[in-house]
Homo-oligomer: A and B are copies of this chain.
Amino acid sequence: MQDVSLLAPKDVRELIRKQEITGPTAGMSKGYTQANLAILKKEHAFDFLLFCQRNQKQCPVLDVTEVGSFSPALLAKDADIRKDIPKYRIYRDGVFTEEVNDITDYWEDDMVAFLIGCSFTFETPLLESGIPVRHIEENCNVPMYKTNIPCIKAGVFEGPTVVSMRPMSPEDAIRAVQITSRFPAVHGAPLHIGNPRQIGIEDITKPDFGDAVTIKPGEVPVFWACGVTPQAVAMQSKPSIMITHAPGCMFISDVRDEVYSVI
């Protein structure tokens, strides 16, 4: 078995396209940016792009395809967004209807694909600075919560901010603010540190998405805006069709993580 963490992104995408990889992509092609996917029809594209523009911490756009094009050219010139993600979810009128490994049969000429930044990109520099990332230690999905922080509305799109949470010592939290501030294109600095109730989270042990993780004595929960926000918001507006990646099954780009640091 090849070590997929060391494979070039194009080689992993080829395995995905052949459906030899059909599951989560965490850890694959280490050092290269992975992205969330949201596909909408042209009629919603301006409002959705404007929503992302107004809510950049929640929805950091990395690439948008031309109308009808399935090439995410800024992220990977030779990629085909219809085939190069291990698993997709189809939503009709806001309802999840099926999960597939290839969306060629679902693609329409007026579709636009949005590739949105993912916190995987800043977890590497956190780990490299010696900050433990609990859900990686506990080998589960990051805990995610709906908050009472509203996104700024754009056209039909509105809704609450979803956050991801990583517990750490207060000293590590300060360093994590510094590190993630360097990456505004992938959520940037945290939105909140400390008290979950202040942002509308009633029970930290019950995440709305993902898995609960251990918070050790003396640790504080640190909350970042999460790429699930735009998907949740788009679904709430019940578009006739919307296609996303399945949780954890991301698009692996040819762009190195560090390219997205501003300093």
Residues of A bordering B, CB below 8 Å: 45-46, 49-50, 53-54, 61, 64, 66, 74, 152, 154-155, 178, 181-182, 184, 188-189, 262-263
Contact A263 B178 (CB under 8 A): yes
User: Could you name 22 residue pairs across A and B whose Cβ atoms are closer than 8 Å?
Assistant: A45-B46, A46-B46, A46-B49, A49-B49, A49-B50, A49-B53, A53-B53, A53-B61, A53-B64, A54-B64, A66-B154, A74-B152, A178-B263, A181-B262, A181-B263, A182-B262, A182-B263, A184-B184, A184-B262, A189-B263, A262-B262, A263-B263
Q: Once the chains are docked, how many angstroms separate the CA of A235 from the CA of B121?
A: 37
Selected from B64, B181, B262, the residue in CB contact (under 8 A) with A50 is B64
Report the minimum CB–CB distance from A225 to chain B (whole Å): 14
Q: Once the chains are docked, how many angstroms separate the CA of A61 from the CA of B50?
A: 10
Q: Is the interface of A mostly helix, strand, loop or mixed?
A: mixed
Q: 5 closest pairs, A vs B, by CB?
A: A46-B46, A181-B263, A184-B262, A49-B49, A181-B262
Q: Once the chains are docked, how many angstroms separate the CA of A178 from the CA of B181?
A: 14
Report the minimum CB–CB distance from A56 to chain B (whole Å): 9
Q: Once the chains are docked, how many angstroms separate the CA of A46 from the CA of B48?
A: 10
Q: Once the chains are docked, how many angstroms separate the CA of A154 from the CA of B152?
A: 25
- A263: chain B residues at CB < 8 Å are 178, 181-182, 189, 263
Contact A188 B74 (CB under 8 A): no
Q: Once the chains are docked, how many angstroms separate the CA of A125 from the CA of B173?
A: 27
Q: Please name 11 further chain A to chain B contacts, defined as beta carbons within 8 Å, in addition to the given A50-B64, A182-B262, sorted by A numbering.
A: A46-B46, A46-B49, A49-B50, A49-B53, A66-B154, A181-B263, A182-B263, A184-B184, A188-B262, A189-B263, A262-B262
- A53: chain B residues at CB < 8 Å are 49, 53, 61, 64
Q: Once the chains are docked, how many angstroms separate the CA of A46 from the CA of B74?
A: 18
Contact A74 B54 (CB under 8 A): yes
User: Which of A46, A74, A178, A181 lies at the interface centre, i.e. has the most chain B CB atoms within 10 A of its CB?
Assistant: A46
Report the minimum CB–CB distance from A103 to chain B (whole Å): 22
